[in-house]
C-alpha cells in the first residue's frame, strides 16, 4: 500500500509504470482464474482506499483527477492481462 501512496504523491516515471505492468502481466498469468479476479479486485480497492485517504478534508473524500487517471491505468493493466488459458480478462 505504501507504493500506491507514493505513486499518488509523486507520479511515477513512464519507465516505472512499464516495469510494474510487466510485473503484473507475469504475476497474474500464473495465478489461477478463481484467485486472479479476487486479487485484481483487492488491488483496485486498495488503490481507492489510498486515493481517498490522501485527498479531501482531513484525508476524507476527494479523489483527484491524477489519482483517478492512475487508478484507471491500473485497472486497464489488470484487465488486459491474459489468463493462463490465453483469454483476456
Render pLDDT for 48-65 as a digit per residue (tens, 0 to 9).
Answer: 888 887 765 555 567 888
Render pLDDT for 11-51 as a digit per residue (tens, 0 to 9).
Answer: 778 998 899 889 988 888 888 888 888 999 999 999 888 88
- Report the alpha-carbon distance of residue 60 to residue 56 in Å, rounded: 5
For the chain, give every domain's residue range.
1-8+32-82
pLDDT given for residue 88 in this prediction = 45
Amino acid at each position: 500500500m505504501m507504493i500506491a501512496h507514493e505513486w499518488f504523491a509523486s507520479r511515477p516515471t513512464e519507465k516505472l509504470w512499464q516495469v510494474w505492468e510487466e510485473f503484473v502481466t507475469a504475476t497474474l498469468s500464473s495465478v489461477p482464474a478463481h484467485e486472479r479476479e479476487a486479487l485484481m479486485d483487492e488491488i483496485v480497492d486498495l488503490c481507492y482506499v489510498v486515493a481517498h485517504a490522501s485527498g479531501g478534508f482531513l484525508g476524507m473524500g476527494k479523489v483527484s483527477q491524477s489519482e483517478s487517471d492512475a487508478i484507471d491505468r491500473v485497472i486497464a493493466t489488470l484487465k488486459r492481462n491474459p489468463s493462463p488459458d490465453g483469454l483476456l480478462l
